[in-house]
Structure 1
Amino acid sequence: MNKLIKKSMMAAAVTGALALASSAAMAQTFPYFTVNEGSVAGANANTFTADKVTGNYTEVISFGANNSFNVSLLWNAGQFVTNNGATPVPTQLGQTGSVVSQQYGLYALYTGSGTYSMNNGTTSFNFTPGGALSVYIDPNTNTMFNKPGNGSTAWTTTNSGDDYLIGTGMPTSGQGTLDPSLSTCGSSGGINCGSFGSSTSFALTAQGSQYFTSPNPFYNVSFQSGQFNNIPLSGTQTVNGSMDVIFGSTAVPEPASVALIGLGLMGLGLSRRKKQA
């Protein structure tokens, strides 16, 4: 009996430790990265650390046969933040049309595709692997963007002779939900009618490695999250909203995976106790 009690106490202690470890792993933490703004022509020398980039996107989405869709997206970075996305970082990041000489622009062009399904008025979007991501720096903040006629065609630019590519990638997965019944959506013109998240492979160019200097090698995945406006699910539509970006690495287990490992070990301990009893 004493041996059984001791083993039960040990199993409980291990279970508690795993639960604490899983809870810690599930805490929201964004990986840090370092930016060298002095690598951009015209910018002042400045290095900072951040963990998220916030911005705004405009997306052209075309709906096709068999509940398919294609998207073409333009994203303009607005601000770097740190402390798990809570604290703005002073930088020289600017927008198109800025007259401040040391400011520069940071933008991305993205194409992707997937399928959607509807259930009780809510639409679920699922991205399929494929498409392209290109990230650019605009030293003169003078680039103009041209919206494509459909979601299968990439955005084009003018006044972009000074721009240079700093990163590329390919969409790998993603999900989104559009729910017009949300109180923040309304019958028409709703500004918050759902949300989405996606992951994309990511690799820096040689010039990109001069801008994103740490870690080295840099993260190989980017994660995007944002919100939807309300749109009809037919033809070609334009949607816009906020979209944030963080980075990560495929070598690091996701928090949910760590939690599942903890639960699995807990179940194994309980199974052994039953056999011994």
Structure 2
Amino acid sequence: MKKVISKTLLACALTGAFAMASTGAFAQTTTNPFPYFSVNESAANPAAANMLTADKITGNYDEIITFSGNTFNVSLLWNAGQFVTNNGTTPVASHLSPTGGSSNQYGLYALYQGNGTFSTSGGVTTFNFAPGGNLSVFTDPNSNTTFNKPANGSTAWTTGNSSDDVLIATGIPTSGQGTLNPSLSTCGSAGGSGINCGSFGSSTTFNLTSNGSKYFTSPNPFYNVSFQSGQLNNFSPTGTQEINGSMDVVFGVPEPTSVALIGLGLFGLGMSRRKKQA
């Protein structure tokens, strides 16, 4: 019976996150569209004590994606580069460093697997992410973890020197869309660089571990949805491809009024269940 309830609540949470992500209605201010969050870097041992507030995490990704028919499977590695604020425009001083360099620095990375469908018309390819997959976020003391690419998009990235890495959050992809357009001026052969040929956006559920709650300290409870937005380099949507570029992460939480407007009693059921267990 407990397994049935657990599966039902998971389905409810996915349904709620998917529907609310599509509305774009999340708690934020009129002056700053990205919700703020606070980080205690001393929780990312051996980082020195530092409390910071930011509204976005910027970074870079490397993904392996496999196309078959009209479907795709993707396995992605994201390495955080820095925290920013003021609508994601101003860097925030931190000990975060993908490459290390001092005893106080640490890395922050995520492994993501997802799938979906795609179609091409007029030379423009559109991607639609399906619910399902997984997201895992880690801190990397001393920034010494190594990463090994999978053979295809259905296989996870593997890591080395990662015995001291700490899992701080998990999630499940809920929705997303991307567009590849080689005719863009930044991508085409007529002076284009080939490094900005489209973009994508996706969302996942976001659940902190006990260690994650020591790192992401506010709001409390923390945001339960994460949003990823990135830029696509040029590639051919056939077979297995490797794509890389920039990818940023922000967080959100559904507004109560939005939940009421779209009739998501299922999400409320999941939240009430959590409170009873707390």
TM over 0.5: yes
1:31 aligns with 2:35: yes
1:104 is matched with 106
1:88 is matched with 91
In structure 2, relative to structure 1, the CA distance for the partners of 1:252 and 1:116 (3 Å cut) is farther
CA distance in 2, matches of 1:149, 1:99: 31
Identity between Structure 1 and Structure 2 (%): 67
1:245 aligns with 2:249: yes
Q: What does 1:117-132 correspond to in 2, within 5 Å? A: 117-132=119-134
Structure 2: where are the runs of 5+ without partners? Answer: 1-27, 263-278
1:46 aligns with 2:41: no
1:218 aligns with 2:222: yes
CA distance in 2, matches of 1:117, 1:103: 43
1:76 to 76, 79, 97: 79
* 8 Å CA contact retained: 2:29, 2:35: no
Question: SS in structure 2 opposite 1:38?
Answer: helix
1:157 to 156, 159, 184: 159
* 8 Å CA contact retained: 2:109, 2:138: yes
* 8 Å CA contact retained: 1:54, 1:243: yes
CA distance in 2, matches of 1:253, 1:147: 43
Question: SS in structure 1 opposite 2:97?
Answer: coil
The AA in structure 1 aligned to 2:230 is G
TM-score when scaled to structure 2?
0.80
TM-score when scaled to structure 1?
0.80
RMSD: 1.9
Deviations 1:183-215 (A, max 9, x none): 100249710000000000000000000000000
* 8 Å CA contact retained: 1:189, 1:230: no
Structure 1: where are the runs of 5+ without partners? Answer: 1-23, 259-277
2:234 is matched with 230
CA distance in 2, matches of 1:72, 1:211: 26
Deviations 1:109-163 (A, max 9, x none): 0000000011111010000000000000001210000000000011000000110
**Higher-Rg member (1/2):** 1
CA distance in 1, matches of 2:68, 2:30: 38
2:25 is matched with none
The AA in structure 1 aligned to 2:136 is S
Cα distance, 1:99 vs. partner? Answer: 2.8
* 8 Å CA contact retained: 2:32, 2:86: no
2:188 is matched with 186
Cα distance, 1:250 vs. partner? Answer: 2.7
Cα distance, 1:83 vs. partner? Answer: 1.1
The AA in structure 2 aligned to 1:51 is D
Deviations 1:76-100 (A, max 9, x none): 000000111111100000113x230
